[in-house]
Amino acid sequence: MSDFILTARGLAKTYQSGDRKIGVLRNVELEVSAGESVSIRGESGSGKSTLLNLLAGLDTPDAGTLSWAGTPVAMGEATRRRADFLGMVFQSFYLIPEIDAFQNVLMAARIRRAPGPAEKARARDLLARVGLAERASHLPSQLSGGERQRVAVARALMNSPRLLLADEPTGNLDEQTGDSVIELLLDLCRESGTSLVLVTHNLAHAAKTRRSLFLHEGVLRPVATGPRPVG
Amino acid sequence: MPWYLYLALKQLFPTGRFPFFTAISVMGVALGVMVLTIVTSVMGGFGYEIRRMIVETEGEVTIKPRVLLEDAPATLAIVRRIPGVAAASPYAKGPVMVMSQGIPAFPIFRGLDLDSVNSVTNLARFVSPAGAIDQLDDDAVILSAQLAQTLGVRLGDTVEIYSPLLIEKLKSDEVFLPRQFRVVGQLYVGHQQLDSSMVYGTLRAAQEIYGLGRRVHGINLRLAPGAGEEAVVARINAALPADQRAYLWMESWADFLWVLNLEKSINFFLLLFIVIIAAFSVMSSLLISVVRKTREIGLLGALGASPRQVALCFCAQAFVIGVTGTGLGLALGFGILAVRNEIVHGLTNLLQRQQTLQQFYQFADLPAHTLPRDLVVTTVAAIVISTLAGLLPAWRAAKLKPVEALRGE
């Protein structure tokens, strides 16, 4: 059994644009250990989100293999395993507008099974942990952008995932709010021992992760940096 | 509750705002169900009223001989022993001419056996003044209310009744004088045919008018409550001589009831299109919802929802719209049925066509009778059609790939 929570070997993805084939990812190699935080930066259109979708099993690579906790991910079974294994945070929050913050967090658990008292208590705890205990009954439309993203973070952690994939989670937030969301994300992952793959444009946010990678011309390369955080 | 059902309900009835799209979809189904309920109930009412009219005035079963019943007491003795037969009453009937003040009319004269008629029919209920049946004797008759009105006859007046035997007698150069009868009552059932063309007298008077002697035209039977009509009729026919046969009330009206049923089926089929059109509205609303919620559908996939569950979420919405619309439609339908006569009378009074409606449809009030079978067919059809309307949106939603849906493509 591998020690890595996430292992990607030789991932490649090509898109068809008219008669042209555009190679977005070529031979991507990535290993993420348990509890490790990794940031991925790159220019716009470099394929960061495509890579994250491949890592989440939402998209199929043209070549290469993907393993979650040492078990290869087959596209057919990715959906079933995803709810247990990983959480995702998106730039646009994607909260369900018809239900309140508490129910949005609980929705991640609902999709696995009918939530009991334990799941409801965890949803309340997570909302308290992201500082929104008082706003649990508020609809997404009654929350600010930063508050919505914090609800999305709580939802991503609801099922105690072993891996959290965050796709530019501060892209729609101001600098100060974005900083606090990243701090929260890192703290929660550190506390729960959840591995984190953070896609970001923000150099400062990337610097807060243990390892930084840069996606360029479809290949992930390590970024040489100074002293890194422990997590 | 499964998440897809929970989310379906939340998307249909969101917290804190009026569910406009849901209301429109539900109203479409409700209107269809309402119209179906009203029409099937009114059509069912005609059938029910026909039954009531026959059963209350003639009993459920009639025994008819091939020509004339020669020995009525013998047949009565046979049928009264058959389980399920509660009462029996012989009768004689046929067309006559009634004259009063030079005005002729050609009703049916029905001779009643005064000893047994009240145990088989409820005629006494429809006769005024009360107890008029008890005042009948061989020189008295009860006229249908509209017939009395046409002839200009009032209680205590005398009418002349001419028998068809008059023609037979004329052939042998005999003169057969009309009989004079005293009018002791009027009959009002609420059915145009009965209220305009019946004369009730004693059996003896009818036998005399038709020259029957002691013979009769048939026997009316009342069945015991809960006795299976068709089974009792089968038992009676097995016991009767070959030249006599028992007919259930509906056999006498088979053609009319068949036409009524056909009309009801055609109406149901045509009006079902309202529900089908409403289903297209449901489909349209849900297809718009799939487009509006493309990113949410992608998110559900990212959270681990399977395409089948996503499809169920939209099917569940169509099902809930169907159930809610059907419930509302039934409530509206029964609400309108409760005040149907006020609406019809208001409308006919406004248009001054009360008489026309009564002459055409036979009934003074708009009848309504909802059969459980019609209710089940309407409910199931509306819910199934609405749920089917969710299949295309459900398929579209399930077909969305999460990664493309999240990009909003």
How close is the nearest chain A Cα to the Cα of B331, in Å?
29
A228 assigned to some structural domain: no
CA count, 13 A, side-chain hemisphere, B359: 5
- The better pLDDT of the pair B267, B360 is held by B267
Nearest to B296 among A59, A96, A112 (CB): A96
Which helix H or strand E contains B32, and what residues bound it? helix B20-58
CA gap A24, B24 in Å, rounded: 46
Paired residues of B93 in beta bridges? B110
Contact between residue A123 and residue B19 where contact means Cβ atoms under 8 Å apart: no
Average pLDDT, chain B: 88
Contacts of B295 in chain A (CB under 8 A): 92, 94
Q: What is the mean pLDDT of residues B206-231?
A: 89
Question: Does residue B303 sit at the A interface (CB-CB below 8 Å)?
Answer: yes
Across chain A, which has 231 residues, the per-10-residue mean pLDDT values are 79 83 84 88 85 87 86 76 85 87 92 88 88 88 87 88 87 79 84 88 86 86 64 52
Runs of H (alpha helix) within A86-144: 101-112, 117-129
- ipTM of this complex: 0.84
Q: A82 is in which domain, residue-wise? A: 4-222
Q: Tokens standing for A158? A: 């609801």
CA gap B348, B366 in Å, rounded: 12
A34 assigned to some structural domain: yes
Which residue in B340, B268, B333, B385 sits closest to B31, CA to CA?
Answer: B333
How close is the nearest chain B Cα to the Cα of A61, in Å?
12
Alpha-carbon radius of gyration of chain B: 31
Contacts of A153 (CB under 8 A, 6+ apart): A89, A130, A169, A181, A184, A185, A188
A231 assigned to some structural domain: no
**Are the beta carbons of B303 and A92 separated by less than 8 Å?**
no
CA gap A229, A35 in Å, rounded: 12
Tell me the CA distances in angstroms from B384 to B6, B38, B329, B378, B392, one per residue in order. 21, 20, 15, 10, 14
Q: Got the DSSP string for B253-316?
A: THHHHHHHHHHHHHHHHHHHHHHHHHHHHHHHHHHHHHHHTHHHHHHHHHTT--HHHHHHHHHH
What are the domain boundaries of chain B?
3-51+256-406, 90-219
At B56, the amino acid letter reads E
Phi, psi of B179 (to 5 degrees): -95, 145
CA gap B39, B33 in Å, rounded: 10
Phi, psi of B104 (to 5 degrees): -95, 155
> What local confidence, expressed as pLDDT, does residue B357 receive?
63
**Are the beta carbons of B2 and A114 separated by less than 8 Å?**
yes
Q: Tokens standing for A132? A: 């929104």
Eight-class DSSP state of A113: S
A96 assigned to some structural domain: yes
**Are the beta carbons of A108 and B299 separated by less than 8 Å?**
no
Contacts of B306 in chain A (CB under 8 A): 79-80
**Are the beta carbons of A58 and B301 separated by less than 8 Å?**
yes
A229 assigned to some structural domain: no
Please write the tens of the pLDDT for every residue from B347-401.
888 877 766 666 666 566 788 888 899 999 999 999 999 999 999 999 999 998 8
Question: Does residue B2 sit at the A interface (CB-CB below 8 Å)?
Answer: yes
| Placement of tokens 């990794």 in the chain | A38
**In total, how many domains does chain A have?**
1
| Chain A positions with Cβ closer than 8 Å to B | 53, 56, 58-59, 79-84, 88, 90, 92, 94, 96-100, 103, 107-108, 110-112, 114, 139, 155
Contacts of A94 in chain B (CB under 8 A): 295-296, 298-299, 406
Which CATH number does the domain housing residue A78 bear? 3.40.50.300
Q: Tokens standing for B198? A: 């019946």
Tell me the CA distances in angstroms from B104 to A83, A195, B46, one per residue in order. 90, 105, 31
